[in-house]
């Protein structure tokens, strides 16, 4: 790619979502908006290398996309898909955003677009693909690579999703107040799903795909900036920043997993930690009943604030998990609490909790449950039981890097006659 084409790509990557959102609101049609902005991208590839990048690329993109959208509307009107009235309304509305517009006169409508893409009437995989394409501005090949899917699969998923939005009349708007809490929760869940897909690839040889996690953080930033009074929006952004700040320490030079207790904390990104902690504190100040993201961010913040693993305030983490379990009960959070309790009070107390989760059954197929029990059994000197639990965990781990880590831990178990004290 030439450096000029790279410059066009860079500008469109940051402006795509805003332009699509604005046109989608005016046109009431996300597919038409996407096509028009894509037209503007092709025009930029032709013109910017010769004319230079415009002074205000955002206004340029919106103006060119507006003209292309009107061309498309007129062409479509001949096909009778759009009425004359809609075309006229769009033309009138779009006249306000010509090339002379400055940044402040072009509103940021991305929130509407995010809520449309994450509408619960769409299947989760459609929500993810649509959000990455329209809001984040990723191309179909980029989305396919990030989600480890074939390009035609993603292309078809997007076509179907856009068809449903249009045909079923999914509105391009922020939901009314009485629906906002539920809809925001499901929208944040889509963003966190994208983040986690980037944080730990659920299958395959690589542990992380940073690009996707970075895109999720961008999306989280858009939502929390446009909804500054929503504690969970701030909480999710904080949580993602704090988790992402550890990305370079999570694997060693050979690509092997390094758990938080053994990570080289000098590799943590301090700027992201500082922002994450500030956002966590803001989210916690905003409400007396913090939600799951704010609490998970608070837990991540306690880890981030410990200078060494030994300095970790496990009592506080265990208490935060207690609060989290009340707000958002899940077997995974219960398992994490058992780990925190084992660190604060000793492996016997932790194992009692882990065993009750095992008895309840819903995590029977999760390698994390068996790996956690194995670790606690090992610390109690019950090496044979620990080895059996590690073997079960190894069988169930889906990720090569995680499997190798478990194999190392299995190999490191002491002989049964040498019980270890709590470390």
Chain residues in the site for other proteins (CB under 8 A): 79-81, 119, 121, 167-171, 173, 175, 179
Contact 95, 130 (CB under 8 A): no
Please give the helix or strand (H or E) that residue 52 lies within, else none. none
Nearer to other proteins, 79 or 359 (CB): 79
CB-count burial class (<10 Å; 0-12, 13-18, 19+) for 248: middle
Q: Give the list of residues 6+ apart from residue 156 with CB closer than 8 angstroms, or none.
A: none
Nearer to other proteins, 1 or 79 (CB): 79
How far apart are alpha carbons 369 and 396 in whole angstroms? 10
Q: Which two tokens stand for residue 306?
A: 């410990």
**Cβ at position 167, least distance to other proteins in Å:** 6
> Residue 257's beta-bridge partner residues?
251
Helix-helix angle 3-27:84-94, to 10 degrees? 120
Nearer to other proteins, 165 or 194 (CB): 165
Residue in 332, 367, 405, 397 with CA at minimum distance from that of residue 201: 397
What is the DSSP code (8-state) at residue 409?
A: H
With H, G, I as helix, E, B as strand and everything else as coil, classify residue 49: helix
Nearer to other proteins, 21 or 297 (CB): 21
**Cβ at position 81, least distance to other proteins in Å:** 7
Residue 204 gets the label, from left (phi > 0), alpha (psi -120 to 50) or beta, of: left
Nearer to other proteins, 174 or 302 (CB): 174
Nearer to other proteins, 168 or 274 (CB): 168
Residue in 281, 284, 250, 248 with CA at minimum distance from that of residue 267: 248
**Cβ at position 420, least distance to other proteins in Å:** 55
How far apart are alpha carbons 20 and 94 in whole angstroms? 13
Nearer to other proteins, 184 or 369 (CB): 184
**Cβ at position 178, least distance to other proteins in Å:** 9
**Cβ at position 288, least distance to other proteins in Å:** 30
**Cβ at position 103, least distance to other proteins in Å:** 30
> Residue 202's beta-bridge partner residues?
none
**Cβ at position 165, least distance to other proteins in Å:** 9
């Amino acid at each position: 790619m030439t450096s000029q084409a790279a410059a066009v790509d860079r500008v469109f990557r940051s402006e795509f979502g805003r332009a699509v959102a604005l046109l989608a609101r005016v046109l009431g049609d996300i597919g038409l908006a996407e096509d028009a902005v894509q037209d503007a991208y092709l025009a930029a590839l032709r013109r910017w290398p010769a004319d230079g990048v415009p002074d205000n690329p955002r206004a340029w993109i919106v103006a060119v996309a507006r003209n292309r959208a009107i061309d498309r509307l007129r062409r479509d009107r001949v096909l009778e898909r759009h009425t004359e009235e809609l075309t006229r309304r769009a033309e009138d509305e779009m006249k306000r955003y010509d090339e002379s517009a400055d940044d402040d006169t072009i509103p940021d409508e991305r929130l509407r677009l995010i809520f449309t893409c994450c509408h619960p009437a769409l299947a989760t995989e459609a929500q993810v693909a649509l959000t990455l394409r329209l809001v984040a501005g990723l191309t179909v090949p980029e989305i396919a690579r990030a989600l480890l899917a074939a390009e035609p699969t993603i292309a078809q998923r997007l076509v179907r999703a856009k068809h449903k939005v249009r045909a079923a009349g999914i509105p391009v708007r922020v939901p009314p107040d009485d629906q906002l809490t539920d809809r925001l929760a499901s929208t944040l869940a889509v963003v966190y799903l994208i983040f986690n897909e980037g944080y730990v690839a659920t299958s395959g040889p690589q542990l992380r795909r940073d690009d996707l996690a970075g895109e999720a953080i961008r999306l989280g930033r858009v939502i929390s900036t446009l909804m500054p009074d929503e504690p969970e929006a701030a909480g999710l952004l904080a949580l993602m920043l704090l988790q992402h700040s550890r990305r370079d320490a999570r694997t060693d030079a050979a690509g092997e997993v390094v758990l938080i207790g053994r990570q080289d904390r000098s590799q943590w990104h301090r700027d992201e930690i500082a922002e994450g902690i500030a956002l966590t504190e803001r989210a916690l100040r905003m409400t007396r009943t913090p939600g799951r993201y704010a609490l998970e961010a608070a837990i991540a913040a306690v880890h981030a604030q410990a200078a060494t693993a030994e300095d970790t305030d496990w009592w506080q983490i265990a208490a935060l998990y207690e609060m989290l379990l009340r707000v958002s009960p899940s077997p995974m959070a219960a398992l994490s609490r058992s780990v925190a309790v084992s660190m604060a009070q000793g492996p016997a107390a932790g194992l009692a909790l882990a065993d009750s989760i095992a008895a309840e059954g819903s995590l029977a197929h999760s390698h994390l449950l068996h790996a956690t029990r194995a670790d606690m059994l090992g610390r109690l000197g019950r090496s044979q039981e620990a080895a059996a639990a590690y073997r079960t965990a190894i069988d169930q781990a889906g990720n090569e890097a995680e499997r190798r880590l478990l194999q190392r831990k299995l190999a490191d178990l002491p002989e049964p006659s040498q019980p270890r004290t709590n470390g």
